[in-house]
Amino acid sequence: MIKLIVGLGNPGKNYQEHRHNAGFWFVESLASLNDSKFTSQSKFLGESSDLNLNSNKVFLLKPQTFMNNSGGSIKSFLNYYDISPEETLVVHDELDLPVGIVKLKLGGGHGGHNGLRDVMKALGSKNFYRLRIGIEHPGSKNEVVDYVLNAPSKSELCAIKESISRASKIVELLVKGSFEEAMKALHT
């Protein structure tokens, strides 16, 4: 069962519209749908919220340490609440998926994503769930940094928001541990 959903992103107004903040957008959307508010939690180096979904409590976390240093925030949260990596869903932007596509998986490598790299290093584990929000690749690896640190076009943003809305509908399945059912619902 998923007990913690982490959105990866960069804190601050200068970054909130950037593609790299798709993970933040997801957890913010979940909080909004459930009338929950994020509060600053210095002991977790982040902002957190919690939801009650079908009598299951699930936490939301937005590390405020910048994308490439997200692992420490997540590790401190997991340690404090005695949550395992396997009970954690990390939501992030994904260059290797087209805009509007969202995929769920357990484990795997970081695929060059520095946020995931730091999470794996801090947790000492790859065995956490990932919700990968497609933002598409700009075409050249030399353009990646500028691409992820800029806002998507209006049509891209619309497709990303639609994919976030679709993915939000499987969260209750994840929280109760129905991963196969959640994957089937999301991927078909």
Residues marked active site are found at 20
For 86, phi then psi, to 5°, come to -65, -15
Give me the residue label for tokens 């939690």.
Answer: 41
Give me the residue label for tokens 């002991």.
Answer: 43
DSSP secondary structure letter of residue 169: T
Q: Which two tokens stand for residue 132?
A: 């990968």
The residues that bridge with 163 in the sheet, in sequence order, are none
- Identify the CA nearest to 7 among candidates 159, 146, 137, 168: 168
Q: Which two tokens stand for residue 10?
A: 């960069």
Q: Which two tokens stand for residue 184?
A: 């089937």
- Identify the CA nearest to 2 among candidates 165, 159, 142, 182: 182
Report in angstroms the alpha-carbon separations of 105 from 43, 122, 132: 29, 20, 8
